Amino acid sequence: MTVSELAALVGGRIEGGAPGAAVRGVASLHDAVEGDVSFLANPKYATQVAQTKATAVFVAEDAAVSPPEAGGALVRVPSPDGAFAKAVPLFTVPPPVREPGIHASAVVDPAAKIGRGVHIGPLCWVGPNAEIGDGTVLEAHVVIADGASIGENCHIYPMVSVRERCRIGARVIIHNGSVIGADGFGYETHVGPEGIKVEKIPQLGIVEIGDDVEIGANTTIDRARFGATVIGHHTKIDNLVQIGHNVRTGPYCGIVSQVGIAGSTHLGTGVMIWGQAGLAGHLTIGDGVEILAHAGVAGDLTKPGQYLGAPAVPKREALRVFHAPRAVERLKEQVAALEAKVRALEASPQPPVQEA
């Protein structure tokens, strides 16, 4: 494929380079060699465009960069990320295609309902009254427990467990090792004549996951104590996330790695939570809120905007607090310098006062 053919495919405009040059692979700006196409999505890496050996680089239409010094071309596009995503499948090995059928080692209960074109891999278990929608793929060692339902065209990767009665929407992707519907963390403590007793509170609800959701590896979403833990349509969840019982997220949320959300917290539409943030229970997080990395959220956040710190506050306020110690240090240095000048003035001989 030539640079000009690639540009036509993604709707781009060529600047510099050789439109007829061949493109054979994809790579980062730093690692690209002749024949590769790369992309610039983060301005942080703009200086690498000049040094890259890539034959073509996708850049934003208004990016202030020049073609690579090695002779590569810029392809200006509305979205470099989107253009690169279209290009990658052209030059890489496609993912394996799972043919419809049930592996001989899988165990499917006679009362389960299996749709058309379903693939059930080795050592899977599909329990009684479970439902698997048309075109869904269950990779090896997947457990779909009693009464659980999986929508159409889902892809469930190895070692995933979907516990009893949980409901998964259509076109959902769940990556390796995730657990949907484990018991929430609920206990009651009694102090009596025989000492302290810790009794488990039954977790009788389910998990409901909307359409077009993606859930990363080793993420856990707990079943509700009663009712449902709900993940809204089009929400994307990273690896190693913990979502507690009775949490509800709106649609189009993003939750990044190592986030923990305690029980009964409700997220609005389009909430974004970055890595290692922690949210206490029974909170309300409003539409359009963005919780930045490492934040600790102890109270409701109702206004759209970015929040930072522990306890989380609006970003502008948090930055003032973070910079306060530096400001104090600068003031101390300035005061010390002024005191030194005063001491020097006091120690120097004073000229006699001239009488009028």
- Catalytic machinery residues: 245
Cβ partners under 8 Å of residue 334, min gap 6: none
Classify burial at 331, counting beta carbons within 10 Å of its beta carbon; exposed 0-12, middle 13-18, buried 19 or more: exposed
Cβ partners under 8 Å of residue 117, min gap 6: 100, 134, 135
Cα separation of the two ends of the chain: 96
Query: Residue 310 and residue 177: Cα distance in Å, rounded?
Result: 31
Query: Residue 220 and residue 159: Cα distance in Å, rounded?
Result: 13
Query: Residue 88 and residue 94: Cα distance in Å, rounded?
Result: 10
In sequence order, the β-bridge partners of residue 77 are 60
In sequence order, the β-bridge partners of residue 137 are 119, 155
The CA angle 217-152-125, to the nearest 5 degrees, is 60
Query: Residue 2 and residue 32: Cα distance in Å, rounded?
Result: 16
Query: Residue 138 and residue 121: Cα distance in Å, rounded?
Result: 6
Q: How many helices (H) and strands (E) does the chain have?
A: 4, 37
Query: Residue 6 and residue 87: Cα distance in Å, rounded?
Result: 8
- Look-up of token digits 């519907």: 181
Query: Residue 261 and residue 241: Cα distance in Å, rounded?
Result: 8
In sequence order, the β-bridge partners of residue 179 are 161, 220
